[in-house]
Amino acid sequence: MDANNTLTGFNSMAATFAADVDQAFWINFWISIVLGLSVIVPMFYFAWKYRESNVKDEDIINYTHNTPLEIAWTLIPTALMMVLFYYGYTSMKSLRTMPPASESITIKLEGSKWKWKYEYPANKSGHVHKITSVYDKKIGDVKRGLYVPVGTNIILEMTAPLNDVIHSWYVPAFRMKEDVVPGRTTKQWFKSDVPGEYEVECAEYCGTAHSYMYSKVVVMEQADYDAWFESTAKSPFEDPSAATISKGQSLYEDNGCAGCHSIDSDAILVGPALKGIGAKYDAEYLKDAIVNPDKDVPEGFYPGVMPPFALPDADVAELVKYMQDAK
């Protein structure tokens, strides 16, 4: 993905309703241009034609009304408004009408500061894929994304945690954008017929790292998707048998810590760099920093930014160990 050119998505129309949305947009655009010009051009023309030096006082007449003209300028814009409404409404309806759940995959989506999470239904062996997608500044790309099969209805049940803010999941290539609201579930659906990788952006200003709140949708061939879905791999592009990452690193990735902290460099993102933190503080401090972040706030940072993580003790211990190992 190219963080400097986030408009590339508009070059493709990768969702079935994208052409409808574009058509509604262009009809709106051209009707607005014509209506706008039909007011502005006569305005300049009359201002010029009836300029002071060109009009004699005795020629000035007061018209009270002109019925044919009034009917024309009422009916024509009304008819054009109806046309705009028709295309706006029908394309909105196709986005808002969910396909039957039995013919779709329903995926839970959660947006929070500053990551996107996707939770799938259980696969045949009962495994539930929970994917955390964050933009990794170091590699300049999004780590993991939403993986879907081509030509399949995907229903998204979207929300944000109660202690978070509003975000918006926006896929330019699909022409779809939907707010995620704390404590409320919004729904959106799409079907993509074109395999490929599409950018997702947060389209609702949500604080410090908003501009890096990227994700991606990867539309895959059915067989590739199935092979991954029935596995336990974190993504179709990671080998599950090569168990290279520790439990701690896995938790670190799944909880989106990387969206705010760098662990292998001194770079300050939203929060302090965690490299070498094990040498500075004991395990107790590190544990508190996760479950009760506002207790000790290092200099130069503010409370209320890092959310408290209500994780099981064992998970917190793994995270602490992971941070202690990050030398």
Residue nearer to ligand HEC on the CB measure, 16 or 287: 287
Contacting residues for 153 by C-beta, under 8 A, at least 6 apart:
99, 103, 104, 105, 189, 190, 191
Work out whether 255 is an interface residue with ligand HEC (CB under 6 A): yes
- Could you give the CA distance from residue 326 to residue 70 in angstroms, rounded to a whole number? 76
Nearest to 284 by CA among 270, 272, 273, 295: 295
Candidates 24-32, 184-192, 228-236, 296-304; binding stretch for ligand HEC (CB under 6 A): 296-304
Candidates 51-59, 87-95, 125-133, 254-262; binding stretch for ligand HEC (CB under 6 A): 254-262
Work out whether 167 is an interface residue with Cu ion (CB under 5 A): yes
Candidates 25-33, 47-55, 236-244, 267-275; binding stretch for ligand HEC (CB under 6 A): 267-275
Q: Is 157 in contact with 108 (CB distance < 8 Å)?
A: yes
Q: Is 146 in contact with 117 (CB distance < 8 Å)?
A: no
Nearest to 271 by CA among 280, 262, 281: 262
**CA distance readout (Å), 163 to 4, 21, 44, 78, 308:** 31, 34, 54, 45, 10
Token code pair at residue 317: 């211990």
Work out whether 305 is an interface residue with ligand HEC (CB under 6 A): yes
Using CB under 6 A as the binding criterion, the count of chain residues that bind ligand HEC stands at 26
Residue from 233, 283, 297, 317 touching ligand HEC (CB under 6 A): that is 297
Residue nearer to ligand HEC on the CB measure, 196 or 298: 298
Q: Give residue 51's Cα distance to chain centre.
A: 53
CB 128 → ligand HEC: shortest distance, Å?
Answer: 20
Residue nearer to ligand HEC on the CB measure, 173 or 289: 289
Residue nearer to Cu ion on the CB measure, 91 or 132: 132
Residue nearer to Cu ion on the CB measure, 260 or 320: 260
Work out whether 326 is an interface residue with ligand HEC (CB under 6 A): no
CB 137 → Cu ion: shortest distance, Å?
Answer: 16
Residue from 142, 200, 206, 209 touching Cu ion (CB under 5 A): that is 206
Q: Which does residue 286 bind out of Cu ion, ligand HEC, none, counting CB within 5 to 8 angstroms by kind?
A: ligand HEC
- In terms of phi and psi (left: phi > 0; alpha: psi -120 to 50; beta: otherwise), the region of 307 is beta
Work out whether 272 is an interface residue with ligand HEC (CB under 6 A): yes
Check the CA dihedral 201-159-209-145 and report its sign. negative
**CA distance readout (Å), 88 to 35, 92, 94, 112, 199:** 17, 6, 10, 30, 25
Work out whether 293 is an interface residue with ligand HEC (CB under 6 A): yes
Q: Is 41 in contact with 34 (CB distance < 8 Å)?
A: no
Q: Which does residue 256 bind out of Cu ion, ligand HEC, none, counting CB within 5 to 8 angstroms by kind?
A: ligand HEC
The residue sitting closest to ligand HEC, measured at its beta carbon, is 271
Work out whether 278 is an interface residue with ligand HEC (CB under 6 A): no
Q: Which does residue 167 bind out of Cu ion, ligand HEC, none, counting CB within 5 to 8 angstroms by kind?
A: Cu ion
Token code pair at residue 232: 């336990």
Work out whether 113 is an interface residue with ligand HEC (CB under 6 A): yes
- Could you give the CA distance from residue 107 to residue 158 in angstroms, rounded to a whole number? 9
- Could you give the CA distance from residue 240 to residue 233 in angstroms, rounded to a whole number? 5
Extract the runs of DSSP E, i.e. beta strands, from 94-213.
104-112, 115-119, 130-136, 141-143, 146-149, 153-159, 167-171, 176-180, 186-191, 196-202
- Site residues (vs ligand HEC, CB under 6 A): 113, 255-257, 259-261, 270-272, 274, 277, 286, 289-290, 293-294, 297-298, 301, 303, 305-306, 309, 319, 323
- Site residues (vs Cu ion, CB under 5 A): 167, 202, 206, 213
